[in-house]
A and B are shown apart, each in its own frame.
Chain A
Amino acid sequence: MAVDEPDDPAKDPALSPEARERAERHDRSPWNWLLLVPLVVVLFPPIYNRIDPTLLDWPFFYWYQMAAIILSVLVTLAVYQKTRG
């Protein structure tokens, strides 16, 4: 992109060490890929759009999505723990 910053400030010798350290910061982490798991799990209704198997009398449609909430908490928590600043 022509409009973006031309130089990499992280390698700019004119900057103070602190400023260079700041410029190297980023949010990239392989753990972030985990965030896609909850999307895949609930955004395809054909996976769970049925009655059986039931759990404690709840149709599959309902307990599957409630279970997906717990899964998404665990996944997001894991990403938070691994990437906290």
Chain B
Amino acid sequence: MFDNVNGVELTVFIVLFVAVSAMGFVASRWRRADDLEHLDEWGLGGRDFGPWITWFLLGGDLYTAYTFVAVPALVFGAGAIGFFAVPYTIVVYPIVFLVLIRLWSISHIHGFVTPADFVRARHGSSTLALLVAITGIVATMPYIALQLVGIEAVLKAMGVTGHIPIIVAFAILAAYTYNSGLRAPALIAFVKDGLIYLVIIVAVIVIPYKLGGWNDIFGAAEKKFAASPNPGDGVILAGPAQLQYATLAFGSALALFLYPHSITAVLASRDRNVIKRNMAALPAYSFILGLLALLGYMAIKAGIVPITSAEGKPDNNTIVPLLFDKMFDSWFAGVAFAAIGIGALVPAAIMSIAAANLWTRNIYKEYINKGATPKQEARSSKLASLVVKFGALLAILGLDPQFSIDLQLIGGIIILQTLPAVALGLYTRWFHRWALISGLIAGLAVGFWTTYQIQQTLVNADKTVTVVKAHFGGSGFPLSKLGMDTTWSIYAGFLALLANLVVCIIATLVLRALKAPEGEDRTKSDEYFADRGDPRVHDLPEVVH
């Protein structure tokens, strides 16, 4: 388990990890409420986070350890296409700026905890709400599992192998999330983000200096991609990849704030201005992400060779830890590894809380215990958060981790299918509730079908093509598969959303013509603008309906 371990790295890593875990337990006393046995307290941290806490919380939530490991890995392997994370995180905030404040207002008046709560009240359909909740849980689970992949990559680079360390790390995480709820990741996020900023700023100054400057770094990348027979890679985008680049960035941006964990962090903020201000301040993380992506090129220049997995495939996710290991002194490499490791804990905690809230509010309370008291709700969520995390752990240990990566890829595509019911639902009730159900199902079907069709191929030196993976080989769907005479690809989620919207519109027209019964809308148009201080906005609604 501990062959060839770097003692200094591991000691620094463990010290920081333990310190942060202690914070996680203490967090239950931070900004303490009288009673943590309420879902608004455990699951939303009291709904009273100001601009700074929200900034750290959302930053820690959205920019996950997996992002920090996978984005540079993609840039290392394919070049410019991996940089899509930058336009993605540029456009997301302007897009959701006006949408999230509406969601905040209506949720605070009605005491909604999850997006499915809103769907139920707005469209008057518990079936639609159930589907939205299940979609959310299914999209979130593999995302939690992937955070473990981030920790594992770091442990591998330190020479620690075997499953026990990761089980221990996750058990600690599960214990303090159970104990402290959303307050734990909110407090830990300060440390996580501080460490990440420190590490990245040092990395982009020290590493290019050691490698002979940016010109050499981009030069080495250009040389690698010129030598590679694969037509899709390069320091800039190959012509046909441009549509995929833009639709991937746009589609991912539309999907990001539909994820339950993003909405959890948004609903925990104190007022509308906190959200607006954060939409302007969060791109600071995008800047760090852009710099981080370029670590992929630095790894090329530094001659990093990814660690080969047990199945004999090179694991590109190990390149960032290996680069840190090679370029930094042991103690600072330890800090960098801790930053990634702790970076996995914050989103994993928030995601499991969000998934647990969906379970409690939209399945347990709706179908199992209709008269659940706030205390029973909080207890149900706490238990569900444990189940969700151990499920993720089993998925990583028991199945091929590749399975989680595939699922996460689909995760973005399937959560995007809740856009008509949730995001468009915030603006209009034109869609019929049954049409939204049909659209969601159609979108999911198209999403699965397209990603199933996508192959991952490798072009060999003699121009022959090897199929590396027959299915779920990426998210770029070749338009030629639809019979179009082109080499262009498009983000599969985009096609699925298009199908979803078309079905929603047609089915609505048909259902109206047939005079199918409309659902009851329990929201009022002026409630979408209410802010803190409005008598209708309760910080802790007694009756949570």
Chain A residues with a Cβ under 8 A of chain B: 1, 3-5, 9, 22-23, 25-27, 32, 35-39, 41-46, 49-51, 56-59, 61-62, 65-66, 68-70, 72-73, 75-77, 79-80, 83-85
Contact = CB atoms under 8 A, between A and B. Distances in A.
Given A1-B430, A3-B521, A69 B90 contact: yes
**The 4 A-B residue pairs with the shortest CB-CB distance in the complex, in nearest-first order:** A57-B214, A35-B94, A76-B280, A25-B529
Contacts of B95: 35, 39
A50 B236 contact: yes
Interface string B90-109: 11011101100110000000
A72 B524 contact: no
B374 interface: no
Interface in B237-283: 237, 242, 245-246, 249-250, 271-273, 276-277, 279-281, 283
Given A45-B245, A51-B236, A72 B83 contact: no
A43 B249 contact: yes
Nearest to B219: A57
Interface stretch (B54-62, B143-151, B286-294, B389-397): B286-294
Contacts of A79: 97, 276, 280
Contact of B237 (A32, A45, A77, A83): A45
Nearest to A60: B236
19 contacts: A1-B429, A3-B430, A22-B534, A38-B94, A39-B95, A41-B90, A43-B246, A45-B246, A57-B214, A57-B218, A58-B214, A61-B237, A73-B283, A73-B284, A76-B94, A79-B280, A80-B276, A80-B279, A85-B271
Kindly state the interface size class of chain B when it binds its partner: 35 or more
A84 B87 CA distance: 26
B127 interface: no
Given A27-B102, A27-B529, A84 B90 contact: no
A82 to B, nearest CB: 11
Given A26-B529, A73-B280, A84-B273, 18 more contacts: A5-B525, A25-B529, A27-B101, A35-B95, A36-B94, A39-B95, A44-B246, A49-B80, A59-B218, A61-B80, A61-B83, A69-B286, A72-B283, A75-B94, A76-B280, A79-B280, A80-B276, A80-B280
A11 B279 CA distance: 34
Contact of B518 (A3, A37, A61): A3
**By DSSP majority rule, is chain B's interface helix, strand, loop, or mixed?**
helix
A65 B290 contact: yes
Contacts of A57: 213-215, 218
A56 B90 contact: no
B9 interface: no
B428 interface: yes
**By DSSP majority rule, is chain A's interface helix, strand, loop, or mixed?**
helix
B530 interface: yes
Nearest to A22: B526
B511 interface: no
Given A39-B94, A59-B235, A65 B280 contact: no
B86 interface: yes
B283 A69 contact: yes
Contacts of B428: 1
Interface string B509-534: 00000000010010011100111001
A49 B236 CA distance: 6
A59 B86 contact: no
Contacts of A32: 97-98
